[in-house]
Structure 1
Amino acid sequence: MNKWTTFITDYKNYLRIERGLAANSIENYVYDVYKLSDYLEVNGIDVSPLKVTEEIIQQFIYQSAAELNASSRARLISGLKSFFNFLLFEEYRNTTPMELIEVPKIGRKLPDILSTEEIDRLIGAIDLSKPEGERNRAMLETLYSCGLRVSELINLKISDLFFEEGFIKVTGKGSKQRFVPIGGTTQKIINGYCNTIRNHIAVQKGHEDTLFLNRRGKGLTRAMVFTIIKNLAKHINLNKTISPHTLRHSFATHLLENGADLRSIQLMMGHESITTTEIYMHLDRTFLSNIISAYHPRK
């Protein structure tokens, strides 16, 4: 529908220029708008984004609900709200058809975490006799000690390492950069990998500054890091479903357990909202009890 395409293109430009979102994030935002546009076309409803009504949106959501769980339905409604708020902001519309449409309440799933002993076992299972072993150990140590997302890990550059200052520069969601502290042990392991393994790899053009390389001298993919961690978990008979994100969750939880404040954890993890960081408050009720005992006047 051409009348939708124009507004979707404007919306994409807004997300890219005004919001500074990355290409993948932009596609996720507009996916739900395309679904609505396709629904209208299939059902012969000839209406532009400027004229679509709440009743039409309700019918679309109702028909979509049959194939969506509560979480996906909430994301669908959230995506449409963002689009129509954009039209409102740009004064294409005076009202939004999403105003009275409620997002379904969904339980917030607590992330899986590993104990420090389980992390030690996982890293200890790496075969250091193989060249990729040193790399894998450096990657897992970095994931856990710095709380990185897997995309941040694979895009880490040698020029992002500021070891003398005790920091690494991380490029997160929306190309936002932050500095994260890195401990001496992890620095030593990364230097060991660089000096004994990476220096002997024939680096492909365009990857000269990439820190973690595969055997062909190119950067690793997300899927490769997932596979490495899952194979290690299987090797030590770890009866948990884990991923690179599990190490990130464990990083935050262990910091909280040892007395770090939420604001510091938020900055290190690159969370835009403190609300995202607050989920870790639910993971260790013993820690919360200790906080009350230590600091409340009626302890």
Structure 2
Amino acid sequence: MNNVTTLAPIFASMTEEEIAAASYLARYQGNTRKMFLSDLRIYFEWCRVNGILPLQAKRVHVEFFARHLEEDRGNAPASVHRRLSVIKGFYRIAVADDRMSKDPTTHLKMPKVHYDETRTLGLDRIELGNLVATARASSPIDAALVSLMGLLALRVTEACNVNIEDFSEVERGHRVLRVYGKGNKPATIPVPVPVLRTLEAAAGDRTEGALILRKSGKRMDRNAAYQRIKTLARKAGLSDRIHPHTLRHAAITAALDAGAPLRDAQVFARHSDPRITTRYDRSRLNLDRHAAYLVSGFIAGAA
């Protein structure tokens, strides 16, 4: 009850739209909440400029907002789709909270997002191996950082949040790492012996606390991890365009390249939908197996 009392004056100074937004954003945490907040601010500002109260908006208003994103802001279809998805989520919760009687986005036309499965191949087996070797030669901390993302497919924030005690348990004969992933979902990941040795080397004599540390002794954050990956990539002779998610991408692609069934790769990636995992199947094998080669060879004998 004390928390409710504390929040009362805060809510009293907020508009209905702000309270509705806070109710929606309270469902999320960390960077997801920050991104969704940014998207809502763009929408709320557009509504303000056009004299529209968000909780009184109609479908046509949201349609015009979509055109604003495309034509005025120059957002790509994927960005427009994401921002409209946030708006749809906001209105879904507003209706659930009885702040609106009808969801204006029920029949909203969403932009189609197309994925070319042969683009953005990421790191192949040799390149990922070179990066792992470079990290191991650099320092135990660098080796652990690259191993968590490039071999266990952790997201950069997940890797930075790993504590030493998170991989201290054994479950059904497997040494495991326990993490909280996207949406604060818990996950238990078996740790192969080479990766375990890397993590233990990074921990050293420490038995608890953050595993991945900066030189100052503080926990490494996503920005510092980004810089470390860029530096290690340059040392390994790889493209400057590599960033932390490239390693997770490479791990998932490597699982598919190695012959892991889609279901196993989905579990490894911790994707809620197998179609998301399929997008990572942009491997060299996709081109090797392409039907264009079959058709060319088939017709060559008759040409």
* Alignment TM-score > 0.5, same fold: yes
- TM-score range, shorter-chain basis? 0.7 to 0.9
Work out the percentage of aligned pairs sharing the same amino acid. Answer: 24
Unmatched 5+ stretches in structure 1: 200-206, 290-299
Counterpart in the other structure of 2:56? 51
Q: 2:189 aligns with which of 180, 195, 204?
A: 180
Counterpart in the other structure of 2:300? none
Q: 1:161 aligns with which of 167, 171, 189?
A: 167
Q: How far has the Cα of 1:265 moved from its partner? A: 2.2
Q: TM-score, normalised by structure 1?
A: 0.79
Output one character per residue of 1:28-66: Cα deviation in whole Å (capped at 9) or x when no partner.
Answer: 2243333232223233x2x43342222333333333432
Output one character per residue of 1:5-44: Cα deviation in whole Å (capped at 9) or x when no partner.
Answer: 324423433443xx4x21432232243333232223233x
**C-alpha distance in 2, partners of 1:288/1:169?**
37
CA RMSD after TM alignment: 2.9
Q: How far has the Cα of 1:218 moved from its partner? A: 0.8
Q: Which amino acid aligns with 1:136?
A: D
Unmatched 5+ stretches in structure 2: 1-11, 291-303
Q: 1:10 aligns with which of 14, 20, 36?
A: 20
Q: 1:140 aligns with which of 146, 153, 162?
A: 146
**C-alpha distance in 2, partners of 1:115/1:211?**
27
After TM superposition, what 4+ stretches of structure 1 lie above 6 angstroms from structure 2? 286-289
CA pair 228-26 structure 1, distance change in 2 beyond 3 A: closer
2:15 aligns to what SS in structure 1? helix
Counterpart in the other structure of 1:292? none
Counterpart in the other structure of 1:278? 278
Counterpart in the other structure of 1:204? none
Q: TM-score, normalised by structure 2?
A: 0.78
Q: Which amino acid aligns with 1:72?
A: S
Comparing 109-118 with 145-154, which one deviates more in the overlay? 109-118
Counterpart in the other structure of 1:294? none
Number of aligned positions between the proteins: 271
Counterparts of residues 1-299 of structure 1 (less than 5 Å): 5-16=15-26, 19=27, 21-43=28-50, 45=51, 47-65=52-70, 66-69=72-75, 70-108=77-115, 110-126=119-135, 128=137, 133-162=139-168, 164=170, 165-195=174-204, 199=206, 209-239=209-239, 241-283=241-283, 284-285=285-286
**C-alpha distance in 1, partners of 2:276/2:14?**
33
8 Å contact kept, 2:202–2:211: no
Q: How far has the Cα of 1:81 moved from its partner? A: 1.4
**C-alpha distance in 1, partners of 2:279/2:49?**
41
